[in-house]
Amino acid sequence: MAGAGGRKKRVGQYEVGRTIGQGSFAKVKFAVDSETGTAVAMKVLEKDTILTHRMLHQIKREISIMKIVRHPNIVRLNEVLAGRTKIYIILELITGGELYDRIARQGKLGENEARKYFQQLIDAIDYCHSKGVYHRDLKPENLLLDSRGNLKVSDFGLSTLSQKGVGLLHTTCGTPNYVAPEVLSSDGYDGSAADIWSCGVILYVLMAGYLPFEENDLPTLYDKITAAEYSCPYWFSDSAKSLIHRILDPNPRTRITIEEIRSDPWFIKNYVAIRRGEDENANLDDVQAVFDNIEDKYVTEEVTQKDGSGPLMMNAFEMITLSQGLDLSALFDRQQEFIKRQTRFVSRKPAKTVVAAIEAVAESMGFKVHSQNYKLRLEGLSSNRMSPFAVVLEVYEVAPSLFMVDVRKVAGDTLEYHRFYKDLCSKLDSIIWRPIEVSAKSTLLRTTTC
């Protein structure tokens, strides 16, 4: 979709669109390969930020590992590019959202559905281990779903690649509720056994809808993890309980192995073996080139084309990729009450009016507001006043006089973000467009997710 006010940016052969994700050190952009027409996710990192925070080794390791592990249930990394000031990581575009969102929406999954995801997770992790890669931060937030509902392991930022002659790992890392008890000790741990423990916690969460180990303070939480102090809810089948107990064994030496999981009666039910990952040697030349020349002035062409000073235009393909499984009803169905980390609403007010209204409401809610080019960042503290809470909002023109505001959590607790978003929508009610219901053929105009 083209029009006045649109701005396009190109990085090499990729036409870059809207931001679809944002973290402390990187943004993820929607992009299209102009040569093939393939939609991809482009992770953008600032070189200065990488150097300032001394993350060069960690990011190079993450990229290298993602090029090594090529499996149907792992997010694929296609290539790495370098610009004057940025590094661009080109990834497979996954449109089904996080597995975490499925749990948040449904509370818990049925045993058969949970088993399917667990089987795919084990397939992926088994392949990683066969390549000497240990993830070390497995949790539902790092498990994505593609448009067909298949699981994709992502975020290898804390992963490690084993080296010959190196025994146990000693770096304490991961998310507390999912971390294995031996990782908390100073005696070292086996990366494979630690990943298996995390897989067991994930299976429990999928079937229960809540964590097996959850406490408000870390010492108590660690005590429960170390003692494997948990109980299974009554709806777990006996065979599922048996497998979980063998996985959540606090002794890594007697904990079940992946080979043993594969022969477990509960696991093999309805199991469809997936083809192994690609065995060709990964070419890391582009990774080496990017990081060898990280301070070079210019490597990859970066071109920005501006057609005006209005908000970014969003084309139809980008709109489709907003929704899970390419189903547009997820974008505009106002009956949908579930709020994801990335949320959006639609307005027929002028874009400048929308921005002004958001600024006023955000300030009234106690946020510090940074606004530029129809993009706003709201910064504040979490409800416990102990950690930062930040949100980014961006205005897009999706049709003449029809604007979509995309809202993304950057920092803070997800449940707190849910409350924030509902409160924000209630205060912006005067600018949010809620049309009357129309025929099924007019799904695109049915309404917003607020």
Distance CA 71, CA 154 (A): 12
Q: Measured in Å, how far apart are the chain's first and last C-alpha atoms?
A: 25
Instruction: State yes or no: 152 annotated in a binding site.
Output: no
Beta-carbon contacts of 138 under 8 Å, excluding residues fewer than 6 positions away, are: 121, 125, 153, 178, 195, 198, 199, 202
Going by their DSSP bridges, the two strands 388-399 and 312-313 should be labelled as parallel
Q: How far apart are CA 157 and CA 161, in angstroms?
A: 12
As a whole number of angstroms, the distance between CA 104 and CA 46 comes to: 32
Enter the DSSP assignment of 170. Answer: -
Give the Å distances, CA to CA, from 41 to 27, 38, 91, 233.
10, 10, 5, 39
Task: Give the rounded distance of the alpha carbon of 253 from its chain centre.
Answer: 32
Distance CA 408, CA 218 (A): 28
101 is a catalytic site residue: no
Beta-ladder partners of 145: 151
Structure tokens at 249: 């064994």
Burial of 260 (0-12, 13-18, 19+ CB in 10 A): middle
> How far is Cα 371 from Cα 123, in angstroms, rounded to an integer?
45
The partner residues of 371 in beta bridges, in order of sequence, read 376
Neighbours of 101 (CB within 10 A): 21
Element spanning 434, H or E: none
Q: Given 123, 137, 155, 190, which residue is catalytic?
A: 137
User: Which residue ranges are tagged as binding site for ATP?
Assistant: 43
Which residues are annotated as catalytic? 137
User: Which residue ranges are tagged as binding site?
Assistant: 43
